[in-house]
């Protein structure tokens, strides 16, 4: 997709940041409260409590890779550009492989950004949120082979968020796609919403993180221009 082919319609792909919003199990809760008010102080400032992976956010390699790049070391241009949407019909807990995606993968035309649309954003804040489909390592490898270096999902994670047989209650989480993707220097955007509102299969994505020094991720305002 060239800039000449991008339209002027904007689709907001971000969940709002709000007190008590859903978070990944174990992540800091989100809270906002007035620090100053117009009535008392003449200006309004709000105190924010949130994690670096709250809401729609990007994972830097340092999120799961020792010695990986931090979020402020990422060139923002990597999170701006032509994206292709993989439309996937998946059920609770399903591992999304390459079967049935042959035509969509063959249509790849040099896009560096892949957005996996499962529709699971409809379950944001519900009991089914944690039972989302997961990207398989097989699919991750297929996308890496196509030259993709930014993977976006409309779920809590490209990996399963439910404990599995490879997880230990006392050990680190089993995150094979994180390890493969971030280990290759790629970036992961989680908790996208509204991909069903994007017409067609391509768009321009803009998802800029805050310049948080030496941190492992950041919330983003993700938009699609189409």
Catalytic residues: 63
Q: Which of 134, 188, 135, 182 is nearest to 161 (CA)?
A: 134
Q: 3-class DSSP state for residue 106?
A: helix
Query: To the nearest 5 percent, what fractions of the chain are helix, strand and coil?
Result: 25, 25, 50
H/E element, 103: helix 102-106
Give me the DSSP letters along 13-42: --PPP-TT----TTSPPPEEEEEE-HHHHS
């Amino acid at each position: 997709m060239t800039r000449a082919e991008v339209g002027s319609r904007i689709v907001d792909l971000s969940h709002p940041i709000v007190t008590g919003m859903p978070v990944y199990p174990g992540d800091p809760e989100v809270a906002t409260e007035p620090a100053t008010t117009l009535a008392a102080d003449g200006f309004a400032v709000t105190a924010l409590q949130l994690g670096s992976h709250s809401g729609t956010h990007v994972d830097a390699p340092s999120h799961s890779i020792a010695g990986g790049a931090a979020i402020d070391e990422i060139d923002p241009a990597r999170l701006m550009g032509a994206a292709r949407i993989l439309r996937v019909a998946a059920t609770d807990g399903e591992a999304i492989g390459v079967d049935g995606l042959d035509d969509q993968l063959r249509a790849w035309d040099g896009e560096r950004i892949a957005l996996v649309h499962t529709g699971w954003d409809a379950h944001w804040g519900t009991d089914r949120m944690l039972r989302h489909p997961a990207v398989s390592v097989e699919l991750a490898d297929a996308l890496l082979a196509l030259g993709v270096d930014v993977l976006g999902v409309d779920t809590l994670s490209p990996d399963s968020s439910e404990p599995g047989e490879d997880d230990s209650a006392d050990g680190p989480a089993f995150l094979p796609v994180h390890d493969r993707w971030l280990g290759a220097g790629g970036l992961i955007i989680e908790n996208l919403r509204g991909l069903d509102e994007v017409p067609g299969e391509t768009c321009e994505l803009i998802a800029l993180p805050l310049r948080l020094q030496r941190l492992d991720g950041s919330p983003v305002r993700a938009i699609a221009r189409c």
